[in-house]
């Protein structure tokens, strides 16, 4: 698991950095109102993409990793069903564009929504190919494909700057370029894998029925549809209920930074899914518990500190990354980043529940949390504006995280140790120290902000290691051994 975890973290860091580079460029060359329009389009595309990146993808990965069924048949079924989902989403985008634009109070974007349908089939093949590669635990090939996809999105800079007069068209063209390159590279790798599977495997292993495969994919799909809605509902409600388009633009900036926590945590669940599935299929409950303990240690030692460093100093980050006017979104961004962290933990806990055969509980809980999020957005945004949108997401994420954790404690024992508690207390102390620094430190220099973040993060890890709260080498050793 060690190599896979490191590679996935690297790919997520590149994903975040390229996303920030893209959004920095758009935020600086466009007005807040124009940037808000891009935010609405990307929110719609994110909903489509999360249908494609979740469901069939996880079903393929988990079933291939479990090794119970013929793998060539699994690959064929995965590609076919993913393509059918893509066709359905494309039709919705084309036929329902006017209705979607009307509901979101952006009738001028109907044609842009129709154009997003072009990107969907290519994106579908990209996601299913990396899912298949993940199931075979070929983490290097998976990471290289993901990195190529991320880098191609940077074509938004020449597209918006020189090729297209409309910034929305340039952004859509960049996403299409990334999807085409990612799908071609991924499918070529899948073809190579397919050819190496022994022919006699179809005699030794049964084929999974279409019903069982679709049901497995549907369980994942329903859960991740809910997560997708929770991740994007605040932006859509903000666009529908907030009349000041500058505020919508500020909240677009908030969502871009807040999701860094979720993206980093997603690297953990992508790696843990095939690992825990394989352990559970062998009835290795002790191995599952050990894996969970180590993943929680990684969260507290390496991911949560990033949130604790950024949130108290968010005002400087927004001003340096965009413009000084974006300081107005600092409170919303901080609240939303904590909300996205809790959503990420909810997803990780769901994967743990899946390993124990508790998919249904996680799915039902996700439906409940989605309803609570919609209600919270409807009530809080008219009263508190973009801060209310962020608070609604925080409420939903916290609810899902706590209730899923409570279920896990009834299944797995001794998931938390004294070392986990010490780490959490140190993370809180780090947040307090950064809040004190933010009181005296005001800047709009993004390089200075980045340098301070890097120095504090590295210093914090060295402090934890020096105080023997953690041993970085021991954590790496345990992960690699597992």
What pLDDT does residue 270 have?
65
- The structural domains of the chain, with segments of one domain joined by +, span 1-208
Average confidence score pLDDT of the chain: 84
Give backbone dihedrals phi and psi of 351, rounded to 5 degrees, phi first: -60, -40
* Helix residue ranges per DSSP H, 96-209: 97-103, 110-135, 139-152, 156-158, 167-196, 201-204
What pLDDT does residue 134 have?
84
What pLDDT does residue 54 have?
76
Please state the pTM of the whole predicted model. 0.76
State yes or no: pLDDT of 229 exceeds 90: no
pLDDT digits (tens, 9 = 90+) for 444-474: 998 999 999 999 999 998 998 888 777 666 6
Q: Is the dihedral of CA 232, 236, 237, 239 positive or negative?
A: positive
Over residues 159-185, mean pLDDT: 87
- First-to-last alpha carbon distance for the chain, in angstroms, is 6
From CA 450, how far away is CA 313, in angstroms rounded?
A: 11
Q: Which of 357, 468, 459 is nearest to 407 (CA)?
A: 357
DSSP secondary structure, 66-95, as one string:
HT-S-HHHHHHHHHHHHHHHHHHHHHHHHH
CA count, 13 A, side-chain hemisphere, 108: 6
What pLDDT does residue 260 have?
81
């Amino acid at each position: 698991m060690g190599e896979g975890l490191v590679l996935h973290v690297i790919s997520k860091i590149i994903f975040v950095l390229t996303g920030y580079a893209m959004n920095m460029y758009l935020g600086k060359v466009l007005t807040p109102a124009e940037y808000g329009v891009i935010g609405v389009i990307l929110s719609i595309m994110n909903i489509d993409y999360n249908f494609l990146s979740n469901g069939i993808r996880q079903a393929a990965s988990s079933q291939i990793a479990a090794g119970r069924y013929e793998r060539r048949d699994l690959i064929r079924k995965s590609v076919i069903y993913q393509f059918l989902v893509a066709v359905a989403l494309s039709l919705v985008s084309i036929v329902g564009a006017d209705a979607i634009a009307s509901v979101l109070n952006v009738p001028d974007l109907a044609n842009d929504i129709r154009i997003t349908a072009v990107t969907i089939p290519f994106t579908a093949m990209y996601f299913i190919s990396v899912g298949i590669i993940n199931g075979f635990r070929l983490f290097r090939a998976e990471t290289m494909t993901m990195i190529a996809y991320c880098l191609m999105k940077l074509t938004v800079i020449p597209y918006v700057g020189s090729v297209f007069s409309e910034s929305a068209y340039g952004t859509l063209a960049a996403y299409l370029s990334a999807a085409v390159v990612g799908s071609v590279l991924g499918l070529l790798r899948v073809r190579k894998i397919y050819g190496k599977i022994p022919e006699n495997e179809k005699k030794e292993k049964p084929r999974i029925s279409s019903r069982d495969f679709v049901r497995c994919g549907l369980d994942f799909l329903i859960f991740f549809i809910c997560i997708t809605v929770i991740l994007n509902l605040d932006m859509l409600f903000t666009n529908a209920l907030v009349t000041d388009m500058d505020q919508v633009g500020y909240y677009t900036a908030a969502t871009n930074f807040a999701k860094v926590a979720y993206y980093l945590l997603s690297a953990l669940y992508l790696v843990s899914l095939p690992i825990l599935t394989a352990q559970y299929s062998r009835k290795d409950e002790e191995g599952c518990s050990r894996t969970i303990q180590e993943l929680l240690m990684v969260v507290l030692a390496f991911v949560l500190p990033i949130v604790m460093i950024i949130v108290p100093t968010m005002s400087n980050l927004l001003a340096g990354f965009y413009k000084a006017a974006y300081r107005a979104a600092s409170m919303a961004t901080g609240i939303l980043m904590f909300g996205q962290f809790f959503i990420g933990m909810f997803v990780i806990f769901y994967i743990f529940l899946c390993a124990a055969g508790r998919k249904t509980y996680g799915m039902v809980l996700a439906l409940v949390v989605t309803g609570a999020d919609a209600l919270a957005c409807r009530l809080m945004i008219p009263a508190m504006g973009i801060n209310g949108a962020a608070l609604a997401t925080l409420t939903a994420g916290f609810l899902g995280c706590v209730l899923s954790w409570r279920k896990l404690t009834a299944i797995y024992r001794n998931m938390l140790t004294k070392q986990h508690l010490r780490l959490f207390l140190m993370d809180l102390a780090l947040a307090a120290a950064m809040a004190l620094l933010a009181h005296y430190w005001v800047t709009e220099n993004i390089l200075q902000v980045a340098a301070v973040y890097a120095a504090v993060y590295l210093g914090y890890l060295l402090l934890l290691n020096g105080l023997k709260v953690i041993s970085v080498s021991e954590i790496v050793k345990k992960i690699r051994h597992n």
